A and B are shown apart, each in its own frame.
Chain A
């Protein structure tokens, strides 16, 4: 069993606080920079990567690909401007994929 590290990618304002609890922070502002950072982190041994929804928006294809792997785990988090609902949307998609119908969020839509 090997040990892994935990990282968070996002805009500086949102993720600085994570540093205090021992998570490695990678402040980026553009989608391209986020993609580069993400690629670098996947190559190194990071087990969990938190990424803000705002940045994840542009990286959907890469993240979807990573979701199929055992590691790393990509978790979307809201940023300081609030949530964009992509994380919840992801869960809904998973349900639809597995069950064939959306049974969890039926009431809303």
Chain B
């Protein structure tokens, strides 16, 4: 389908300018899309590995926690976990990957009360079971990875969104706008050529008529 325009030289120039612009935009967007996909693939592999690893570790930690719950009276357990030794504060920075803004997490651990190195266990060892210790240890060990997972997963989500958008734009340019412009340009040039030929034959005819009269 072509765009409806007056077949004039002015219109032709305007369309040609639009076409070069569209082609430039198309090339740029295509490069953007390719680079986004490249980075996306690296990240998504990391995401998959991290998630598989974490799901395994967390399930283990939870299973141990369940055991701890089973061997300890519920009251004791709640009492043991009532006052955590740490407070977490999250700092978020913006990262720009190919004009996609993604968060980058840093966290600060604050020890509530006490000075210096507090243990990760907020309880004494008297009333608690060993399963609780291992469960909490695993949890605290995988926490950095958990935060990385959060970061990577968010980045992957935002990038998937952006890639989809970019791909739509590339396709719209490639399959709709550019062919239409080309078609219209062709239509105008043909129309102009035709009227030029028309004018030429008219001139020749008139010349013949004028000559015959002399």
Contact = CB atoms under 8 A, between A and B. Distances in A.
Q: How large is the interface on B (under 10, 10 to 19, 20 to 34, 35 or more residues)?
A: 35 or more
B161 A68 contact: yes
A3 B89 contact: yes
B150 A73 contact: yes
A70 B94 CA distance: 9
Contacts of B47: 91
Chain B binding surface SS class: helix
B171 to A, nearest CB: 11
Contacts, number: 149
Q: How large is the interface on A (under 10, 10 to 19, 20 to 34, 35 or more residues)?
A: 35 or more
Interface of B: 37, 40-41, 44-45, 47-48, 51-52, 54-55, 58-59, 61-63, 65-66, 69, 77-78, 81, 84-94, 101-103, 105, 107-110, 120-122, 135-136, 139-140, 143, 146-147, 149-151, 153-154, 156-161, 163-164, 167
B93 to A, nearest CB: 7
A68 B37 contact: no
A16 B88 contact: no
A6 B51 contact: no
Contacts of B45: 104
10 contacts: A3-B89, A5-B88, A13-B62, A17-B135, A20-B122, A21-B88, A22-B88, A78-B59, A91-B156, A104-B45
Given A22-B86, A78-B59, A98-B40, A4 B66 contact: no
A87 to B, nearest CB: 5
Interface of A: 1-6, 13-14, 16-23, 47-48, 50, 67-68, 70-71, 73, 75, 77-80, 82-83, 87-88, 90-91, 94-95, 97-100, 104
